[in-house]
């Protein structure tokens, strides 16, 4: 199993602050995905990064895929309470169908 480690596990910040969460593995992934999950709901895909060194932006969210395709980061600028949720990174298993998820970073943004 290709393990994905996410850090930090929990993050509590105030509205307007910036933050970065990390997703690391000892394995190489063909792509990595970031999901956001709200309590009582399923994960929702935010982005897929495919190319080593790739940077993708989604409004105030910036995603980066490491050059070696073993790690990724998510940076949020000027966080808002609506950003609160569980952020999960995931990569496809060797079979190519199952997603392996990290444990997630639980983010709380207070007004």
Partner 1 sequence: DTGVSQDPRHKITKRGQNVTFRCDPISEHNRLYWYRQTLGQGPEFLTYFQNEAQLEKSRLLSDRFSAERPKGSFSTLEIQRTEQGDSAMYLCASSLGGWRARTSSTDTQYFGPGTRLTVL
Residues 6 or more apart in contact with residue 61 via CB below 8 angstroms = 46, 47, 74, 75, 76, 77
Given candidates 101, 107, 109, 110, which one binds partner 1 under the rule CB under 8 A? 101
If one asks whether residue 44 binds partner 1 (CB under 8 A), the answer comes out as yes
How far is CA 28 from its chain centroid?
Answer: 16
Q: Whole-number minimum distance, CB 7 to partner 1, in Å?
A: 13
Segment lying near partner 1 (by CB under 8 A), choices 13-21, 55-63, 67-75, 87-95: 87-95
Q: Which residues pair with 36 in a beta bridge?
A: 44, 87
Segment lying near partner 1 (by CB under 8 A), choices 11-19, 57-65, 76-84, 90-98: 90-98
Torsion of Cα atoms, 61 then 16 then 86 then 56, to 10°: 10
Binding site for partner 1 (CB under 8 A): 4, 30-31, 40-45, 48, 50, 88, 90, 92-93, 95-104
């Amino acid at each position: 199993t290709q393990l994905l480690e996410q850090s930090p596990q929990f993050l509590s910040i105030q509205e307007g602050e910036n933050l970065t969460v990390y997703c690391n593995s000892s394995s190489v992934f063909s792509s990595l995905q970031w999901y956001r999950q709200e309590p009582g709901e399923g994960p929702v895909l935010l982005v897929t990064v495919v190319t080593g060194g790739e940077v993708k932006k989604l409004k105030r969210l910036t995603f980066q895929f490491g050059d070696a395709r073993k790690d990724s980061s998510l940076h949020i600028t000027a966080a808002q309470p609506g950003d609160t949720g569980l952020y999960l990174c995931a990569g496809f298993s060797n079979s190519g169908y199952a997603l392996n998820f990290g444990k997630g970073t639980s983010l709380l943004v207070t007004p």
